[in-house]
Amino acid sequence: MKYKTKKLIQAISIAILAAGAGLAFATDPAALVNSEKRDKNVPTVITSDKLDFDYEELVALFDGNVVVKDQQFTLKADRMIVFIEKDTNEIKRVDASGKVRLTTTGGMTATCGKATYTRKNGQIIIQINPVVTKGENVITGNKMSVWLDEERVVVEENVALEATPEK
């Protein structure tokens, strides 16, 4: 087992012990959402009812009442799988499923049945009845891509927009 992998496992173990009944998983804040605006001293914390970590494959499964607290967003889901790069121990991809709700610090909210975050491009793909709201504006479609750093949304297929003029 590589030294970096051992350090990651130790960090997860310490976080679990520190959290008591809930489970916490702290990582480099830039690992979940890449941004130059981020304060690198503020951790991302994941809590859930259960954590199953595969040391060989570097995959973490958070199950039940999953909450991700990040300085740019809060994500809630029934289940979340975190895939970690073997060479760098950085988060590669995050798959959230069930009742998924993403709220950004910029006031955007997205709900769906499945969300996939890919670190490489900083994109979250939301599917299964996705709805994105900001203020009184609502966008729906079959599949949406959200970039948190840009607060930009691309909607594909069956797009519906309900826009309310500013008062």
- What are the two backbone dihedrals, phi and then psi, of residue 44, each rounded to the nearest 5 degrees? -95, 130
pLDDT digits (tens, 9 = 90+) for 85-94: 988 888 889 9
Compute the Cα dihedral for 90, 132, 125, 128 and give only its sign: positive
Q: How many CB atoms lie within 10 A of CB 37?
A: 8
pLDDT digits (tens, 9 = 90+) for 142-167: 999 888 677 677 888 888 888 887 76
pTM above 0.85, yes or no: no
* 7 vs 137, higher pLDDT: 137
Q: How far apart are CA 155 and CA 148, in angstroms?
A: 15
DSSP 85: -
pLDDT at residue 161, rounded to an integer: 86
Q: For the chain, what are the domain ranges? A: 3-162
Q: 36: which residues sit within 8 A by CB, 6+ positions away?
A: none
pLDDT digits (tens, 9 = 90+) for 12-67: 433 333 333 232 333 332 333 334 455 777 887 889 999 999 999 999 999 999 99
Q: How far apart are CA 162 and CA 2, in angstroms?
A: 52
pLDDT digits (tens, 9 = 90+) for 94-133: 999 999 999 988 888 999 999 998 888 878 899 999 998 9
CATH number for the segment(s) 3-162: 2.60.450.10
* Cβ atoms of residues 100 and 75 within 8 Å: yes
